Structure 1
């Protein structure tokens, strides 16, 4: 299974909203500019996220989007499933060789476990740690 730009950019949107959680709505334009992405493409991705109840839209001059739940309550698996569909490395049938089928099931379950145990809060923490590691200090 290869995660497409839908899944990757969807995670980007959700991480940006998580980073601003509690500060009010964030516009897709600001997310697009900050991450050098197409605002039009992000508009296509936000609709299924909103329909799934992961984000809320705020109308008006200072409107935009906010997370529907706390960052610790939303997993990468929630986002990927909304945008990419079911998690499966290959399509297989019950007629497939049982050994191969067991392999595919184990791979699927391992991927799902990582995605479902990684929250937006975790991703923000990883991102902040990475940004701190990139600073140069001179004495």
Structure 2
């Protein structure tokens, strides 16, 4: 499995929105500036995330985007599947290796579904060497 820029930038976008969870809408322009990403590209990513119910848009002069769920309720797997599609390892595995590839796919799903957006936000805020990360 190779994660495209769509998946990587989508996770970055969701982490940024999660950092401001409960504080009101965040503009894509501000995310683009903080993360050094293209605002135009973020606009392309936000639509499928909104359609999947992971983010909500707020209209108006002080509008922007907010997470539709709390960060602990959104997994990395949720984000990746919306932006990248189903997780596959091999398109057409040989019969004798099919079981191996299924185990690999299952392990990847387990990690992605076992990692929440809050886990990534905490790691970004506190860093893995910060004692607060382990409490």
TM-score normalised over the length of structure 2: 0.92
Superimposed CA distance per residue, residues 17-59 of structure 1 (whole angstroms, 9 cap, x where no aligned partner)? 1110000000000000011100000000000000000000000
Structure 1 residue runs of 5 or longer lacking an equivalent are 134-139
Q: Which residue of 2 aligns with 1:59?
A: 59
**4+ runs of 1 displaced by more than 6 Å?**
none
Superimposed CA distance per residue, residues 66-116 of structure 1 (whole angstroms, 9 cap, x where no aligned partner)? 0000000000000000000000111125xx223x10111011000000000
Query: Would you say 1:117 and 2:128 are equivalent positions?
Result: no
Pairing 1:39-78 to 2, within 5 Å after superposition? 39-78=39-78
Q: Which residue of 2 aligns with 1:22?
A: 22
Q: Which residue of 1 aligns with 2:83?
A: 83
Q: Distance in 2 between matches of 1:122 and 1:23?
A: 19
Deviation at 1:129, TM superposition (A): 2.4
Deviation at 1:131, TM superposition (A): 8.2
Q: Which residue of 2 aligns with 1:127?
A: 124
Cα RMSD over matched residues? Answer: 1.3
Q: Which residue of 2 aligns with 1:136?
A: none
Q: Which residue of 2 aligns with 1:102?
A: 99
Q: Give 1 or 2 for the bigger CA radius of gyration.
A: 1
Q: Distance in 2 between matches of 1:89 and 1:34?
A: 33
- Quickly say closer, same or farther: Cα 1:104–1:125, change in 2 above 3 A: same
Secondary structure class of the residue paired with 2:86: coil
- Quickly say closer, same or farther: Cα 1:51–1:13, change in 2 above 3 A: same
Q: Distance in 1 between matches of 2:125 and 2:70?
A: 18
